[in-house]
Structure 1
């Protein structure tokens, strides 16, 4: 029997998003993650193209975690003939379920709006996938516990290991014909507010390593002081603080921080509105899986009671019409869609508004445009002038920085045959390549999108 692995880099190679890596072997074909491309239009257009591999021949999908750029392409995989299992930890699949349903709803609404308002080149505009497609996908989910080796075939087994980043997130280790393949997924922070520090791999013959912040160190910031100052300024201006937020983890971290600031009398009892249907559902995941995070149920309940959770779109407009200074946390984190657009549509042209960006802003997103000082942003077919003050807190990122990534690799006892840098923009990946070579003297490769690497074992 031939002992080889063909690795197909179908996403997150040379770019941050669209995570998809196919391991083709003589026994089984395994897809690691199945995410959507986000950001630049040329990347987003790739989502509409069928994969360059035989999708019907894929036996199983293993998920590192539930973010859209790691799970959002799954319904399209089914449309191309996939009929296997989709495996992840229980919280990862709970998050993926929420994200796929929400994403399908947004795709359907966006297509309907584009057709109604006639701001589409396509006649008619079609949703990327529908709610029915999402439900067909969720049926294939199978949860597995972390730390246990699970056999796929006689010569292939895998296990999930706790990785911080978001609830349920893991790195994936595979033993294939006696060689250890490690997919880092997204690596979390050592001192996260809500999550334990990531575990570390101890062996890796082939390491597939994220490099999102491969060229950066998170600034050492007193987040509580910065947040309280921004909130006090907002109140002084009689304005609104809008925080575009990822529904998974970032929203819950912000809720926790704001609750802590209020408890410590560092901010007044300013109204806080959480407008993220998906974020509300993720809060339930925290409740269901207490062993996956550090929050006590007492703190969880207190922080939930401290905020106003918006249930309906009608309440979104009531919040906009509310004349009090307030904090609004709404999806999406990179301002690519979601409820935050409605608030920006009404409030971004007011100098009393502050927009606070609190996570990674991918190239080509409105969040990146705002961060880089755009004087206007375009959405829903129109341009909106940016008169609001734009602020950033980079140290709230759920991604480890260069030091965190190097430390995560430090427990590997052997010398990997190759380290493939993925999930990073070119500058970040190249800087990290040099740093790994200088620190560990390992061989490092930066694959490009659609590259195929044949590894003879």
Structure 2
């Protein structure tokens, strides 16, 4: 039936990662986001299964932003027969290129290491996808402007609107036969060091909203005060401060805050090392798209000059062997891979080491284990005792908290027929469901993974 719309929840339903929502309408199939699952083993294993829909029949992909849990499955989509365009804002595609290339390289390196050191049951271990697969997916990229309605067919149009969170991020409004389906993507903070406040939707017949922090408010701690206290304690212990960081936004924010603290004489001239090839590339995206953030070029250049950029794996080991007290910011943010593993493997068993977590830690990740007080942690097939001090700085989160999510919905003029709570673990979704009911009295649903829902338009 041509006036029927069907939405498949192929990811980020009952969990935070793996965002994928397939919309079938008027003989077209539109995929909103195409992310990888992360965290728990049973979720990660889903990445290896083909999607439970006909991939070759998907016409187009629309991306809200460039994070791995929103774009990381694109090479597999192309592998499975997708031939259409992948549309997003220019900075989102620039970030997605960096992330896919980096992800492919990590998959290749991990497979090689697993085969060499025999810590896998797979013989041989294969990369999830390789650099060639990533490049094939990137060839499908096409940028579009934010704030402009794109008429896709006679019955379908869409628009991307600024959403904070990371550079290039948007929420997507999909108009189908004059009914508006709004996909929030990840919603940023009203007060952010680098980014402008998110725009807000004004109409939503069907709303699909993230609920990562739907259950809580971010602490009102003074970020600069807490960070300077942690740094002085590390200096006193003559240790190292290791900050596992998301390469997109969080790393740039940390560089900015540390530079600002030094400028205000709140911290001494402690060496700061940035060990994230992907993060370095993202710094270039900030330079390329100045209208998408608050930094002036003067501030940008000053903060970049304040840190030491590590260019090679040899320099990683030189930094580990450097006896000086120092700050190391390295990927990845949830300690799932990347250069930070090398630092933690060497330094996590030392009491004078401090590990600072600065973002959301999904279930099943090493970051969540550290946050929950794990006494040991596994790297590359071996366990290491956790003797380092673990600190958490939640105020730097790039995700809106419960009150900011409610505020983001506050300018919707109509009463949505449906509000679907996505991109959240079940306790967060359920708490947010209750809060939306109390605040707006809107009908809310928590969809299950691989569920499909039908609407008439």
By the TM > 0.5 criterion, same fold? yes
- In 2, the alpha carbon distance for the partners of 1:192 and 1:83 equals 38
- In 1, the alpha carbon distance for the partners of 2:137 and 2:336 equals 24
Partner of 1:416: 416
Aligned-residue offset at 1:25: 1.3
Aligned residue runs from structure 1 range 44-193, under 5 A: 44-193=44-193
Moved over 4 A (4+): none
Deviations 1:18-60 (A, max 9, x none): 0000001123110000000000000000000000001011000
Aligned residue runs from structure 1 range 21-40, under 5 A: 21-40=21-40
Q: Determine helix, strand or coil for the equivalent of 2:327.
A: strand
Count of matched residue positions in the alignment of Structure 1 and Structure 2: 457
Aligned-residue offset at 1:138: 0.4
Q: Determine helix, strand or coil for the equivalent of 1:317.
A: helix
- Cα RMSD after superposing both structures: 0.5
Q: Is the 8 Å Cα contact of residues 27 and 153 (structure 1) preserved in structure 2?
A: no
Aligned residue runs from structure 1 range 130-279, under 5 A: 130-279=130-279
Q: Is the 8 Å Cα contact of residues 165 and 186 (structure 1) preserved in structure 2?
A: yes
Q: Is the 8 Å Cα contact of residues 350 and 388 (structure 2) preserved in structure 1?
A: yes
Q: Is the 8 Å Cα contact of residues 63 and 88 (structure 1) preserved in structure 2?
A: yes
Q: Is the 8 Å Cα contact of residues 165 and 188 (structure 1) preserved in structure 2?
A: yes
Partner of 2:291: 291
1:431 aligns with 2:427: no
- In 2, the alpha carbon distance for the partners of 1:317 and 1:176 equals 54
- In 1, the alpha carbon distance for the partners of 2:270 and 2:249 equals 22
- In 1, the alpha carbon distance for the partners of 2:200 and 2:411 equals 6
Deviations 1:171-221 (A, max 9, x none): 000110110000000000000000000000000000000000000000000
Q: Is the 8 Å Cα contact of residues 182 and 206 (structure 1) preserved in structure 2?
A: yes
Q: Determine helix, strand or coil for the equivalent of 2:10.
A: strand
Q: Is the 8 Å Cα contact of residues 33 and 61 (structure 2) preserved in structure 1?
A: yes
Q: Please, which runs of 5 or more residues in structure 1 have no aligned partner?
A: none
- In 2, the alpha carbon distance for the partners of 1:177 and 1:129 equals 38
- In 2, the alpha carbon distance for the partners of 1:40 and 1:174 equals 32
Q: Is the 8 Å Cα contact of residues 167 and 292 (structure 1) preserved in structure 2?
A: yes
1:18 aligns with 2:54: no
Partner of 1:382: 382
Q: Is the 8 Å Cα contact of residues 160 and 170 (structure 1) preserved in structure 2?
A: yes
Deviations 1:299-328 (A, max 9, x none): 000000000000000000000010000000
Aligned-residue offset at 1:2: 2.0
Q: Determine helix, strand or coil for the equivalent of 1:344.
A: helix
Aligned residue runs from structure 1 range 390-405, under 5 A: 390-405=390-405
- In 2, the alpha carbon distance for the partners of 1:248 and 1:156 equals 32
Q: Determine helix, strand or coil for the equivalent of 1:119.
A: coil
- In 2, the alpha carbon distance for the partners of 1:133 and 1:100 equals 9
Deviations 1:275-316 (A, max 9, x none): 000000000000000000000000000000000000000000
Q: Determine helix, strand or coil for the equivalent of 1:11.
A: coil
- In 2, the alpha carbon distance for the partners of 1:26 and 1:167 equals 33
- In 1, the alpha carbon distance for the partners of 2:12 and 2:233 equals 39
Q: Determine helix, strand or coil for the equivalent of 1:5.
A: strand
Aligned-residue offset at 1:151: 1.1
Deviations 1:107-151 (A, max 9, x none): 000001000101111111000000000000000000001000001
1:370 aligns with 2:343: no
Q: Is the 8 Å Cα contact of residues 30 and 58 (structure 1) preserved in structure 2?
A: yes
Q: Is the 8 Å Cα contact of residues 65 and 185 (structure 2) preserved in structure 1?
A: yes
Q: Determine helix, strand or coil for the equivalent of 2:328.
A: strand
- In 2, the alpha carbon distance for the partners of 1:432 and 1:344 equals 35
Partner of 1:3: 3
Deviations 1:317-361 (A, max 9, x none): 000010000000000000000000000011000000000000000
- In 2, the alpha carbon distance for the partners of 1:366 and 1:262 equals 31
- In 2, the alpha carbon distance for the partners of 1:279 and 1:259 equals 17
